[in-house]
Amino acid sequence: MSSQAHDYFQTLLVTVLGQAFAAAGYHLVDNPMQQAGGFFKFESERGTALEFQHLAYQDTEWSSGQASRFRVMLLAHDGRRRDLSALVVDDFAVAILPSARHWWQYQDTHTLGQALLEAGKLTIGY
């Protein structure tokens, strides 16, 4: 996977959700090594965190058209971790996502923006 793909994801992540997360008390942790691998973490002073795991797919001679994707993990101050989609679907029994193991998929800038917005609304809402 290309670091360029993760840089692109980070730029859109901060553009779409950065202000909302900042208003909620979260800041993006500057960790170039993790970010180069597709992990982006927002932390709060309360010890909670939001982690985005990004998997970028590129067309090759063996595969074509595979959607890139990301998921969101919520970290509590006591070390507990929960996938955002599992929290919504399993814990709150709200069937607004296809499954409790949902990865948001995208093919281009427009669909990435939409996916980030949907995930961001759920993150702030729950």
- Identify the pLDDT of residue 115: 98
Checking if the pLDDT of 35 tops 60, the result is yes
**pTM for the predicted model, two decimal places:** 0.90
d(CA 66, CA 37): 19
Average pLDDT, the chain: 93
Pick from 74, 63, 56: nearest CA to 12: 56
- Identify the pLDDT of residue 66: 82
pLDDT digits (tens, 9 = 90+) for 55-69: 998 766 666 678 899
